[in-house]
Amino acid sequence: MQIQKKVIPLIIGIAIAMGIFIGGKLSFTDSSDRLFTSNSKKDKLNRLIDYIDHEYVDDINTDSIVDVTVNSILDNLDPHSTYIPRRDLQKSTENLQGDFVGIGISFYPYRDSVTVIRPLKGGPSIKAGIKAGDRIIIADGDSIYGPDWSSDAVVNKLKGKKNTKVNLKVYRPTENKILDFKVQRSDVPLISMDAAYMLSKDLGYIKINRFAESTYKEFKKGLDKLQNQGATKLVLDLRDNPGGFMHIAEQIADEFLKDDKLIVFTKNKKGKIVNSYATRKGDFEDGEIFVLINENSASASEIIAGALQDNDKGTIIGRRSFGKGLVQREMALGDGSAVRLTVSRYYTPTGRSIQRSYENGNKDYYYEYYKRIQKGELSNEERIEVADSLKFTTPNGKIVYGGGGIIPDEFVPINLKMENQTIDVILRSGVLDYFVFEDLDANRASFEDITSKGFINNYVVSDEMLQRFNDYYNARARYKITFVAYDEEVKLYIKAKLAEQLFGDEAHTQIINSNDNMLERVNELNAN
């Protein structure tokens, strides 16, 4: 009975969706279209859609029917098969491609104006002379300020075809002038490597936030820089990295593994196995590697951690990873939308699947994170549940487990001073971003001669500034809170946000890392 409840709606839904997308009276000739050849069941459902379209008493939004239907179908498959509506596909694609065409600014819709946080390094705006704090008020003759202009509307206005130009009128508060700029749109990179810097004379650090098409090139450039600075050991930080392109993860893993070492293998519905091996000499095969993971490290992040762990290369440090061992492929649906459909499972070199169970549905699947918290797993290694039936052994005799993420070699509990409910609420609210921007905007001249290094080493957030933020937050947020128990931690986040707006992601990362218990564990291991 339970099977019927799932299967029947699934069959019906698929047929309805395909009928809407493709139509019931089209003639198909090439081989790919034979998947959708007609049969009596589909004919019935296509006819039903026609009846609804032409005869139903109320007007029906066909697009909404499609969206609901497709999402319902995918909900019955697995948690990672997803539908991408036409309106979201471009943004989703750009995020994985690693770039977009635009003018290259980070901005806020601030007090009914488009306020530049900072022009992006190497982008067209910085070349044109646009500065942090500038207000863009007119683009190609259209006013782009006021409550009717959403962030998406502004982005759509400023984006465009490559090499086209946009005429901007910009108000610069520091000069009290309206300035004219002609900015030529070009490729703007979406950086996936947050930081690459030296922790000590021989220990480098790289943090990757996702695996986009550009990530390997970014990583290689960062690795080369660190090696030139003397790095013979490396920390690869994959915390909170949700994944991305599998082949990019394979390329990065290849930098650390000897030739012919198995990186990962996949198995599809038909049982076809595809192996991926380290095929060339990597630049860090002889270097020592520490990989940082946490409960939000997923997919491609787990491929790297699993490949290194199963080949007895380096040390995996942190907490049990997310547990996503499914591979998706994006498939167009013909109307500008697409589906990312799970087409195979991947396995680490020892043969383990790290995919956690989704047999109780998607809601239970994603709630599993909170179950980890309730069990105390994030604070106590002994609370991690493992199954002897999913035990595997590496070539050097190390025991590893499948069935729900990568369990690190060195467990580091969550830092409750830095990661707690109060701070999480503060960061998610976005109020800190606005406070820092306003404070910086009022005193921008005082930071003009400060370098990133000077700021990181010498700038101190005062008690008075902390109190101003507390008052600012309570005046604007839904919940009033006090920071008494976390004063130093909130100061650190204020400083990090200031650094981000002044200098970029790397400065932000360096400041946050100054109070990081996983890096403290790395230093302990490195000293031994």
**What residues act catalytically?**
299, 310, 324
CA distance 106 to 276: 38
User: What is the phi/psi pair of residue 44, to 5°?
Assistant: -60, -45
Nearest to 256 by CA among 296, 211, 321, 316: 316
Burial class (CB in 10 A: 0-12, 13-18, 19+), 77: middle
CB 511 within 8 A of CB 195: no
Q: With residue 274 as reference, give the H or E element that holds it.
A: strand 273-277
- Name 494's Cβ contacts closer than 8 Å, sequence gap at least 6: 432, 435, 436, 461, 465, 466, 469
CB 273 within 8 A of CB 266: yes
CB 398 within 8 A of CB 407: no
Q: With residue 464 as reference, give the H or E element that holds it.
A: helix 463-476
Burial class (CB in 10 A: 0-12, 13-18, 19+), 495: buried
- Name 422's Cβ contacts closer than 8 Å, sequence gap at least 6: 481, 483, 485, 486
CB 358 within 8 A of CB 78: yes
- Name 406's Cβ contacts closer than 8 Å, sequence gap at least 6: 293, 297, 302, 305, 306, 309, 316, 320, 321, 354
CB 303 within 8 A of CB 249: yes
- Name 268's Cβ contacts closer than 8 Å, sequence gap at least 6: 343, 344
How many other C-beta atoms are found inside a 10 Å radius of the C-beta of residue 322? 26
H-state helical runs in 311-451: 362-375, 421-429, 431-442
CB 82 within 8 A of CB 72: no
Q: How far apart are the first and last CA of the chain?
A: 60
CB 204 within 8 A of CB 229: yes
